[in-house]
Structure 1
């Protein structure tokens, strides 16, 4: 997406929100004013993909539907339950997460501001909806919202990307870490005692340990925050989960490759000499080690947009104070221009040819062995050229600087911790393979119990 396209997109977001607010929103508000003002109003914000900007707020949707149904059943005509309609997108519908969130924030402000003055308010949100509801509650609690804090009876946040367990009381099983987007800059002020957060076990969106997973944390902040650094890089209709997964996978592969760099360089230097001397067994051993050392980079690059992912990692580096992501960014820039597919093919060809050569020698078929070796030496130099040429041109000493940065952060032993990214990648893959982010049925009932108590008190 070009910078011009990004500006146009942002303008469209404003136009959409303004249009909905002035036309649809006012029409619905006028309709609401013709009906009796209920004692309570619950405004629930669905998660990503659970609603759309033209949805009817009176129609229950998504994860929070049992919550709304439960409140309606308990309090009957004393409560009005509304579901905030908004884009509910995250790159996949042509809007970044932040742009989609802006449509939610505009909708929430309008809905709350146009409520009748006597109704008391219940607020709840799930995932992206919790992001918006949490921001609104922060404004209200600190005296900057569309209504006063004394009108809000309770706030519930499920899977909040900005979850901060140090400033927000939790329900259910307390989880370690913060939301993937980082903590909010303010607490909930006057609403603090009336806000509850819930995070399911294993849901990295709301329980990410930034110290243990700085790379993931930085990616989360970039992808869920200000889209300016990466909005023009990311094609429309990109699935954010896939983008994060690719970035972590590639980051892990690059980190492992950097950790294996001494083995790679030694192998590329030693292999031609072993072949020239005729030590085929040792050459085969070196080729096997070389192939294994290159494997993380080759696997990470499969079906991945390397240029895009490198750009995302570079943007993430700007919001990671630990320096980990900055080092990963240098590695990304260094290896993004290496012909990885050519490397994979050539390394595999060398290993396979040496194996056949050893078999020929075992059979005393020296002519066949010689024929195999005749075509092998160019392949070795081809591998060196494909790896070292672009790598040294791109790195220009920066890869050593990246390793030095990691050494400065963690001490001499931290070179081994480059593979920390691989562990983060494994944790994220496990997360995406689970139902952690949608396993909230029990938590919804727990939240319902809390809000019922708040309304009834």
Structure 2
């Protein structure tokens, strides 16, 4: 009798051991497919980013031109230059929309251009690099805090170069925010302008940006514009943002409508420095957008993007 009970007990123990082994094997095999603890399994769902209630739906970033800004200016209510062309775009938008819905932020940067007539100013390269870094910083900060906020970027002259460079980085997926976060970009008098890159509302001009036409003669123009590297066009253009970038240039503006073949590099560099005449008249020039002005057109364009996404 005792022998029988012993045999039965041994059999029960063996069965329990066998069940344990099978469970262990099954668990080990399944781990090859579902991953270790804490690893994604392929069946998890990604939650959309949380947008705080205080975040604006849209942020308009405006980059003023040379001598129209300052590094310590107030980005919400800029006063460095009351005659800044960009104010004729930003102020109407601020009046139209609540700051809770649309944030209008003006790039505060040195905005200078050392040249033969102003040797004590910051060089164009340093001013442009400062502006680019500050614009990227604002994009990063807003996107991190408000991931669903979308951007409209506008720039004039040196500010257009900065805005265009940032847009090119974003469009090539090398920027600080995703391209899907950008609703539109407007570049007014872009010194790196190339026909066929971006969209061309208003009057189309055949010329190119001053930085493009002077790139082969960069060393020759340095005595006139020391520290201003003529970088040419933007390699790869605006990438996936190409259809969202508006390239605006007034006919005969030496900054964006320069001749392809430079007859006299020094004269062309001096024209870039002076940047007056046509370049200073975008708020009144009827030849850019027949029937209206550039600033009025940009306000309407931005309003449509804000209202209709």
Q: TM-score band, normalised by the shorter chain?
A: 0.5 to 0.7
User: TM-score under structure 2 normalisation?
Assistant: 0.65
Could you say which residue in structure 2 is the equivalent of 1:153? Answer: 183
Could you say which residue in structure 2 is the equivalent of 1:81? Answer: 104
Shift of 1:137: 0.3
Aligned counterparts of 1:434 and 1:87: Cα–Cα separation in 2:
20
- The answer (yes or no) to whether the contact 1:158–1:198 under 8 Å persists in 2 is yes
Could you say which residue in structure 2 is the equivalent of 1:453? Answer: 304
Match of 1:68 among 90, 98, 105: 90
CA separation of 1:129 and 1:35: change in aligned 2, threshold 3 A: farther
CA separation of 1:90 and 1:37: change in aligned 2, threshold 3 A: same
Shift of 1:95: 2.1
Aligned counterparts of 2:157 and 2:59: Cα–Cα separation in 1:
21
Matched, 1:117 2:140: no
Aligned counterparts of 1:87 and 1:219: Cα–Cα separation in 2:
26
Q: Within 5 Å, which residues of 2 pair with 1:32-431? A: 36-60=54-78, 62-76=84-98, 77-91=100-114, 92=118, 93-115=120-142, 116-182=146-212, 183-211=233-261, 213-216=262-265, 244-245=269-270, 428=271
Bigger proportion of residues as helix: 1
Shift of 1:104: 0.3
Aligned counterparts of 1:102 and 1:432: Cα–Cα separation in 2:
21
Aligned counterparts of 1:40 and 1:433: Cα–Cα separation in 2:
32
Aligned counterparts of 1:434 and 1:144: Cα–Cα separation in 2:
35
Shift of 1:192: 0.8
User: TM-score under structure 1 normalisation?
Assistant: 0.45
Q: Is the partner of 1:453 in helix, strand or coil?
A: helix
Shift of 1:433: 9.1
Q: Is the partner of 2:185 in helix, strand or coil?
A: strand
For residues 246-265 of structure 1, give each alpha carbon's deviation from its aligned partner in whole angstroms, at most 9, with x where no partner exists.
xxxxxxxxxxxxxxxxxxxx
What is the aligned-residue RMSD (CA, Å)?
Answer: 2.4
Could you say which residue in structure 2 is the equivalent of 1:436? Answer: 278
For residues 304-329 of structure 1, give each alpha carbon's deviation from its aligned partner in whole angstroms, at most 9, with x where no partner exists.
xxxxxxxxxxxxxxxxxxxxxxxxxx
CA separation of 1:443 and 1:54: change in aligned 2, threshold 3 A: same
CA separation of 1:49 and 1:34: change in aligned 2, threshold 3 A: farther
Q: Which runs of no fewer than 5 residues in structure 2 stay unpaired?
A: 1-50, 213-232, 284-292
Aligned counterparts of 2:154 and 2:278: Cα–Cα separation in 1:
19
CA separation of 1:132 and 1:432: change in aligned 2, threshold 3 A: closer
CA separation of 1:112 and 1:434: change in aligned 2, threshold 3 A: closer
Aligned counterparts of 2:306 and 2:103: Cα–Cα separation in 1:
13
CA separation of 1:432 and 1:71: change in aligned 2, threshold 3 A: same
Q: Is the partner of 1:69 in helix, strand or coil?
A: helix
For residues 386-438 of structure 1, give each alpha carbon's deviation from its aligned partner in whole angstroms, at most 9, with x where no partner exists.
xxxxxxxxxxxxxxxxxxxxxxxxxxxxxxxxxxxxxxxxxx59x95962111
For residues 123-150 of structure 1, give each alpha carbon's deviation from its aligned partner in whole angstroms, at most 9, with x where no partner exists.
0111000000000000001101110011
Q: Is the partner of 1:155 in helix, strand or coil?
A: strand
Aligned counterparts of 2:299 and 2:201: Cα–Cα separation in 1:
11
Q: Which runs of no fewer than 5 residues in structure 1 stay unpaired?
A: 1-32, 221-243, 246-427
Aligned counterparts of 1:203 and 1:118: Cα–Cα separation in 2:
38
- The answer (yes or no) to whether the contact 2:198–2:244 under 8 Å persists in 1 is no
CA separation of 1:215 and 1:185: change in aligned 2, threshold 3 A: farther
CA separation of 1:434 and 1:87: change in aligned 2, threshold 3 A: closer
Q: Is the partner of 2:256 in helix, strand or coil?
A: coil
- The answer (yes or no) to whether the contact 1:71–1:448 under 8 Å persists in 2 is yes
Paired positions, count: 217
